[in-house]
Amino acid sequence: MSHTLKNVAVVGAGLVGSGWAIVFARGGAAVRLYDASEAIRAQALQRLGSMLADMQAAGLVGEAAPILARITLCHSLEEAVADADYIQESVLERVEVKQAACAQIDAAMRADAIVGSSSSGIPASAFTEGLAKRSRFLVAHPVNPPHLVPLVELVPAPWTDAGIIPVLRAAMEGWGQAPIEVKGEIEGFILNRLQGALLNEAWALYEAGLASAADIDRTVSEGLGLRWAFMGPFETIDLNAPGGIADYSARLAPLYHRIALSRRDPQPWSAEAIARAEAERRETLPADQLQARTDWRNRRLMALVAHLRDQPK
Amino acid sequence: MSHTLKNVAVVGAGLVGSGWAIVFARGGAAVRLYDASEAIRAQALQRLGSMLADMQAAGLVGEAAPILARITLCHSLEEAVADADYIQESVLERVEVKQAACAQIDAAMRADAIVGSSSSGIPASAFTEGLAKRSRFLVAHPVNPPHLVPLVELVPAPWTDAGIIPVLRAAMEGWGQAPIEVKGEIEGFILNRLQGALLNEAWALYEAGLASAADIDRTVSEGLGLRWAFMGPFETIDLNAPGGIADYSARLAPLYHRIALSRRDPQPWSAEAIARAEAERRETLPADQLQARTDWRNRRLMALVAHLRDQPK
C-alpha cells in the first residue's frame, strides 16, 4: 500500500458496511467494525466469514482467515473510531440517522482522520454542517456490494478540505476500489444520474408499448452491456469511429440530440407501467424466487469480477 | 436448428456483412456472400478466415474450416439471393444506397424469402415502400460486430407481414443471436435510444465540469456495466429492493423523475465539450494507437463472450 490510511473504522455493519469491512481488510488495513444494533453485531463476524468463503470459492481472495483476522468487532462507536485514520460511515440512508451518527463520529474521531459516508443520495452538506470537524467529512458512495463492484464516488461538501480527496483516492485505489471524484453535490451524483437516464428512457419505451421489459433488458445484457463491462461510454464511442470521439460526435451527435428533444416533457414512471412491468417480471421470476435470483446475481458478479481481473487493461 | 431458414444470403461484405456471414455459417446455414465492390469481394474470404481464426483462438468456435466452407462468395447479387430463405442486407448506411440494393434484392428474391436490413437508424419504410415484395422486408439491426455481440433489433415497417417476425426471431435464436422486437419505427430504435440517454447525460455532466471523461467512463466500466453485462436495467432494479421492481419504483421513481426534470432543456453536445473530451482521450490514447486499442477491445469482447457463455443463466 502506498497510502497512509492503515487503521480503518466502519460504522454500520449491514450489507454495505460488511462489504466495506471486507474491502479494507482485504486491502491490508486493520479494521474496527461497529453497529448500534446488538443483534447485527451478534451476527456480524459470522456474516463476514460467509461472504469471504463465497469470495474464496470464486477465486477472488486467497485465504479468507487472515482477512477475517484483521477485522475487530467493537461494542461502542468510540472504541471503533478513536484511533482510525479513515472512518467509513454506513448507517441507514436517512438524514436524521446520518446526522446523529456523524455527530457521534465527530466527537470521537482524531482531528486528522477522514470520514467517508456511504450515502447513496443525501449530500454530505445535509448532515455535516454543524460538526466541529466538518472539513474532514465527504461522501464515499459505493455500489452495492462494495467488495464486488469497485466503483466509489467521492463527493465533497462545500466545506470539505480539498486536500483529503487525493489522499482518500489513493487509499481507495490501494484497497482495490475504483474511486472517482464528483465536483459538486449534484442530485444522484454521477452513477445514479447515468443509471437514471437509461432507466427513464427504458420506462418511456416500455410505457409506449415499443418493447417488452424482457426485450429492453436483453438490449442491454446482450448488447450495450458487453462493452460497458470493461469500457465506459466515452471510450466506447472513441473506438466506434475511425477518427475517434470527435469524428463519432460529428456523425452522431445530431441523432442523439433529436432523441433528447423527444424527451423534453418527462413524465413520472406511471403506476400503470410499473404494475405491468411487475406482472411481467413476476411471470418470469415469482416473488418467492427473488432471493435465489439475487444469490445467482452475486455468483455471476463474482465470476465476472474474477474474469475481468485477469484481462489485460 | 428448429427454424426453417437454411439458405442465407448476405449482401454487402464490409465489417458488418462479414460478421453476419460468420453468424449464419456458425449456425449451420449455407451462406452466399456478395458485395458490389470487386475489391471487397477479392479480400472477403481472407478476412473471414482471419476473423474465424481469432474466434477459434478465443475458444468461441471449435474448428474454423467447416464454418468457412459453408460460405460461398458470389459475383452477382442475383446469384447470391435467388435461392435464399433469408437475405441480410448490409450495404452502406445511406438511404439511396439501401433503396438501390433493396430494389435489386426485391427483383431477384423468392416471393417467400425474408429480407432483414442491417440499418442502424434508417427505418425500413424509408427504403422499401415501392417494392413489389415490401411485406417481406424489415430491419434486423445488429450491434457491431454481430459475430461477437448477439443483440439484433427486429423493426418492421408498417407494411411488413407480421407473420415473418416470429419466424425470423426463432431463426436468429437458432443462429445464436439475441433478437428483440421493436413495435414501431421509433428513431434510434431501442439500443441507440438507451445508449443515447446515457451518452446525453454523460456529456451534460462532462460539460458542467462535474467529472472527467475518464471518471465518467469508470462509473460505467467499474460500476454500472458489471451488472449490465448479464442483466438488463429492469432485472437489475427488480433485484435491488426486497419487494422487486414495484417496491424499487415506489422508493426511487421520484429521484429519477427529478433527474429527468433537470434535463428538460437538452442542449446539443457542445463543440467546446467535444474538443475537450477529444483532447482528454488523445492524452490517454494517442490517435496512432486507436487501431491497437480497437484490437484490444475486440480481444476483450471475445474473452468476455466466452466467459458469459459458460455461466448459468
10-residue averages of pLDDT along chain A (313 residues): 84 96 97 98 97 95 96 98 98 96 98 97 97 98 95 98 97 98 97 98 98 98 97 97 95 95 95 97 97 95 95 90
Domain count, chain B: 2
Among B113, B121, B125, B34, smallest CA distance to B71 is for B34
Residues B42 and B119 in one domain: yes
Strand order in the sheet with B137-142: B71-73, B30-34, B7-11, B86-89, B114-117, B137-142, B151-156, B178-181
Residues B291 and B152 in one domain: no
Is residue A291 domain-resident? yes
Give the C-alpha separation, A265 to B160, whole Å.
Answer: 31
Chain A residues touching residue B218 (CB < 8 angstroms): 151, 178, 180, 232
Rg (CA), chain B: 21
Mean pLDDT of chain B: 96
From residue B48, alpha-carbon distances to A235, B86, B176, B301 in Å are 27, 20, 18, 18
Scanning A161-190 for CB atoms below 8 A from B yields: 178, 180-184, 186-188, 190
Pairing of strands A86-89, A7-11: parallel
* Residue where a domain stops, chosen among B121, B153, B181: B181
Residues facing residue B181 across a β-bridge: B154
Among B160, B15, B197, smallest CA distance to A260 is for B197
Chain A residues touching residue B244 (CB < 8 angstroms): 278, 281-282, 287, 290
Interface contact A195, partner B, CB < 8 A: yes
Q: How many CA atoms lie within 13 A of B16 on its CB side?
A: 19
Cβ–Cβ gap A121/B192 under 8 Å: no
Residue B240 belongs to a domain with what CATH number?
1.10.1040.10
Residues A298 and A152 in one domain: no
Cβ–Cβ gap B219/A281 under 8 Å: no
Q: How many CA atoms lie within 13 A of A163 on its CB side?
A: 4
Interface contact A272, partner B, CB < 8 A: no
DSSP string, B47-85: HHHHHHHHHHHTTS-S-HHHHHHTEEE-SSHHHHHTT-S
Is residue A157 domain-resident? yes
Residues B151 and B227 in one domain: no
Interface contact B1, partner A, CB < 8 A: no
Give the C-alpha separation, B298 to B303, whole Å.
Answer: 9
Instruction: Tell me the mean pLDDT in the region B149-164.
Output: 98
Chain B residues touching residue A150 (CB < 8 angstroms): 222-223
In angstroms, what separates the C-alpha of B137 from chain A's closest C-alpha? 19
Q: How many CA atoms lie within 13 A of B261 on its CB side?
A: 10
Cβ–Cβ gap A232/B239 under 8 Å: no
Q: Name the pTM for this structure.
A: 0.96
Is residue B2 domain-resident? no
Give the C-alpha separation, B270 to A124, whole Å.
Answer: 31
Provide the terminal-to-terminal Cα distance of chain B, rounded to the nearest Å.
Answer: 20
Residues A268 and A145 in one domain: no
Scanning B283-302 for CB atoms below 8 A from A yields: 285, 287, 290, 293-294, 296-297, 299-301
Residues 6+ apart with CB under 8 A from A156: A124, A138, A139, A162, A165
Chain A residues touching residue B293 (CB < 8 angstroms): 239
Instruction: Tell me the mean pLDDT in the region B30-44.
Output: 97
Residues facing residue A31 across a β-bridge: A8, A71
C-alpha cell at A113: 482522520
Q: Give pLDDT tens digits for B235-286.
A: 999 999 999 999 999 999 999 999 999 999 999 999 999 999 999 999 999 9
Residues A262 and A176 in one domain: no
Q: Is the pLDDT of residue B112 over 80?
A: yes
Cβ–Cβ gap A312/B305 under 8 Å: no
Cβ–Cβ gap A178/B220 under 8 Å: no
C-alpha cell at B221: 466500466
Residue with cell 458512495: A141
Domain hosting residue B243, numbered range: 191-309
